[in-house]
Amino acid sequence: MDLTENTILITGGGSGIGRGLAEAFHKLGNKVIIAGRRADVLAEVVAANPGIDSVVLDIEDAASLPGFAETVTRAHPSLNVLINNAGIMRAENVLAEPYDLTDAEATVAINFLGPIRLTAALLPHLKAQPKTAVLNVSSGLAFVPLAMTPTYSATKAALHSWSQSLRHQLRATSIEVIEIAPPAVATDLMPRSRSNPMAQQLDDYIAEVMDLLAKGTPEILVERVKRLREAESSGHYEGVFAALNPAG
């Protein structure tokens, strides 16, 4: 995709990878709109980056998405890039009695149904643009799951698969479909994620992603995530799974 002269909507743009991408694209002169549930967090990003716009969006609220799409495209008729980044990651104990499905169901609604619903709502507008892209932020855990976050890992695997099908179905349109699959990154996605010594620093991750985006590859795979992405094809899946999920 072209890294300049875009109007970009980023869900979950108030923090973490979403904010990092928003600021990186903003520095390149793009018009950036960040969306998220927490108005105060969005306001902090806007204050730190004059020119970025924000809009409150609850990606879990399916009924609101068609109206949101209409409102955002009316306010920003040049919108041509959607980055589906909003997501939650929560530990689940399937042995608990009862096994509370609240977190699992919210994870599916936000991480998987959210991108599908928002993309569907915006597709008529995006198809009318001469050059456009949909970027879906999945995870290295799409390829080797973290067992303590089973639904998160499953939604990212589903988003990977859906992105492939979306790319194929849109191949004759102006819409480029790109998947960004992060490794562990030092953000606040989960408690202690920021201090995880194995996590890649956010600034380093964003810089590597932007460099790969400039090269035009459909899957954005930084070096640190390739161990997960290639685990099965390299014949090392069982070892990588065991390292990620110690038995003891």
Q: What is the DSSP string of 188-238?
A: SSSTTSTT-TTSBPHHHHHHHHHHHHHHT-SEE--GGGHHHHTTTTTT-HH
- Lookup: tokens for 39: 């108005």
Q: What are all long-range contacts of 69-75, with beta carbons under 8 Å and residues at least 24 apart?
A: 69/118, 69/121, 69/122, 69/125, 72/9, 72/33, 72/35, 73/122, 73/125
| β-strand partners of 10 | 34, 83
Q: Catalytic: which of 99, 152, 205, 237? A: 152
Residue 221 CA from chain centroid, whole number: 13
Alpha helices in the chain (DSSP H): 16-27, 39-48, 65-75, 102-107, 114-127, 150-169, 202-215, 226-229, 237-244
Residue 235, judged by CB atoms within 10 A of its CB (0-12, 13-18, 19+), counts as exposed
- What is the crossing angle of helices 16-27 and 39-48, to 10°? 30
* Cα–Cα distance for residue pair 87/98, rounded to 1 Å: 25
Asked about 152 being catalytic, the answer comes back as: yes
The residues that are catalytic are: 152
